[in-house]
Structure formats: C-alpha cells, structure tokens
Amino acid sequence: MKTLLILRHAKSSWSDNNLSDHQRPLNKRGRYDAPRMGDLLASEDLVPDLIISSSATRARTTAEAVADASGYDGQLIITRELYHAGPDDYLAAARELGADSKTVLVVGHNPGIEELVEQLAGAWYRMPTAALAEVRLSIKDWADLSEDENGELANLWLPRELP
C-alpha cells in the first residue's frame, strides 16, 4: 500500500506584472495556508517520505513551507516537468521512485492536480489553492502505478475548512 498526497500550490500573487507566470510568488494568504497544510500533515501522521514539486516559485515555496511545518527532513525534489503538468506527468514522476517511499507528496498546479485526483480516485473533486488530497493506492512499488490505477480518496482537505 502506497499513499500519494496531492497538493495544489498555495495562493499566488498577481501584483507584479514584470514577473513571468513561473516566477509568481505566494501572496499573503498563500504564505499563511502553506504551513497550515504542513501542520495538518504532521497532526495526521502523514509526513511524507519524499516531496516532489513543480519548479514554479509558488509551488516550490509551498513545498518548502509544508516541509518545514510538517517536520519533513528528507530531500525536496524540484522539477520543471511538473510545471503545467498533466496527470501522466505526475504518474511518470511517481513511477521513478521505486519501492522505498511509502508516502509521497506532489506539489503542482491545476488543471493537472484536479485531473490527477480524478484519474486516481474515479471522481472529480475541486482542488482550490492549497487543497490537499490523500489517495491510497494498492501497489507495492511506485513503478507499478498505472493510468488505470483505482485508488481510494481517503481525505480531501481545503485550507478554508481547517480550524
């Protein structure tokens, strides 16, 4: 059994028109919500074994804040391949992990994040900024993860619903 945690980056700022989409930082709400999701992971005993994030500033900063707040002390993999990625790109990144990591967190963007949750859980769920889905997968090795995998959506947390 493996667990894939799927996190949409926290709320980003549109205030600086000189920045490219890839460079947009988190706004005030994003800087507040990202560590809250890390606190949630710690309180739910879901601190990942590995975190993989899009290289976009808003995603990377979200991943770093979640890692710090959750107590994660592993490697943070930052990859451009998850910037504007589709579900197949997330699955391909996960397949490269082998068997060691039981729980993996991916941090990325919509619409790919929503499409990934839908593909794995079999139903569409809205994933606003900083939303976190916990999908349990009946696989022993990440290499066995397929496009047809039937996972179980164990939890879906939205930052506005947290205490």
Q: What is the pLDDT of residue 156?
A: 98
Residue 134 pairs with which residues in a beta bridge?
A: 5, 155
Q: Fold for domain 2-161?
A: Rossmann fold (3.40.50)
pLDDT band at 149 (very low <50, low <70, confident <90, very high): confident
Specify burial of residue 29 (Cβ count, 10 A radius: 0-12, 13-18, 19+).
middle
| β-sheet with 50-54: strand ranges across | 76-79, 50-54, 103-108, 2-8, 132-137, 152-157
Query: What residue ranges do the domains of the chain occupy?
Result: 2-161
Amino acid code (one letter) for 64: E
pLDDT digits (tens, 9 = 90+) for 70-121: 999 999 999 999 999 999 999 999 999 878 899 999 999 999 999 999 999 9
Residue 59 to residue 53: CA distance in whole angstroms: 6
Q: How confident is the model at residue 147 (pLDDT cuts 50, 70, 90)?
A: confident
pLDDT score for 9: 98
Average pLDDT taken over every residue of the chain: 96
Average pLDDT on 118-142 reads 96
pTM of the full predicted structure?
Answer: 0.96
In this structure, are residues 158 and 113 in contact, taking their beta carbons and an 8 Å threshold? no
Mean pLDDT to the nearest integer, 26-38: 98
CA distance linking residue 109 with residue 116, whole number of Å = 10
Quote the DSSP letter at residue 5: E
Task: Give the span between the Cα atoms of 86 and 109, in whole angstroms.
Answer: 9
